[in-house]
Structure 1
Amino acid sequence: MNEQAIFDNIKQALNDAPRNQFTAEMHLQMIKYADQLKSITAKEFCQGVGLKDSFGTEFSKMRNLTNRLKAAGLQTDLL
């Protein structure tokens, strides 16, 4: 899946999320696609998904957390 398709999937998931679940859904999507988005910057992620640049910190945190979750057995392809 190419970056634009991933961005589109994330945008759709965020649009479909209940208002009080937006942040949780955003974090889940960041973890889900962390491996496919290893080569992009946090700023590029925010621009691609249409988020404020301030969410770049969250993207970096989730990408780092994904490695630990996978080491503990999480299969991100099942999310």
Structure 2
Amino acid sequence: MTHLAIFESIREALDNAQRNQYTTELHLQMIKHADSLKDITAKEFCEGVGLKPSFGTEFSKMRNLTQRLKAAGLNVSEI
């Protein structure tokens, strides 16, 4: 899946998220796609998805958290 396709998938998931679940869905999507987006910057992620630059910090956190979750047994393909 290309970065553009991933960004579109994330935008769609966010558009369909319940009003009070937006941030939770964003975090899940970041974890789900962390491996595929490991070579982009937080700024590129925010621009690609159409988020405010302040979400870049969340992207970096979730990318780092993903490695720990996978080490603990998380299968991101099941998200």
- Place the TM-score, normalised by the shorter chain, in its bin: over 0.9
Q: RMSD between aligned alpha carbons? A: 0.3
1:66 aligned onto 2:69: no
**Which residue does the alignment assign to 2:47?**
47
Give the aligned residue type for 1:53.
Answer: P
Q: CA deviation at 1:10?
A: 0.1
- CA deviations 1:9-63 (Å, max 9, x no partner) are 0000000001100000000000000000000000000000000000000000000
Q: CA deviation at 1:78?
A: 1.1
In structure 1, how many angstroms separate the alpha carbons of the residues matched to 2:76 and 2:33? Answer: 8
What aligned pairs does 1:30-45 form with structure 2 within 5 A after superposition?
30-45=30-45
In structure 1, how many angstroms separate the alpha carbons of the residues matched to 2:30 and 2:17? Answer: 14
TM-score, normalising length: structure 2: 0.99
Q: Percent identity?
A: 70
Count of aligned pairs: 79
Q: Which stretches of structure 1, 4 residues or more, deviate above 6 A after TM superposition?
A: none
Give the aligned residue type for 2:8.
Answer: D
Helix, strand or coil for the counterpart of 2:51? coil
In structure 2, how many angstroms separate the alpha carbons of the residues matched to 1:29 and 1:19? Answer: 16
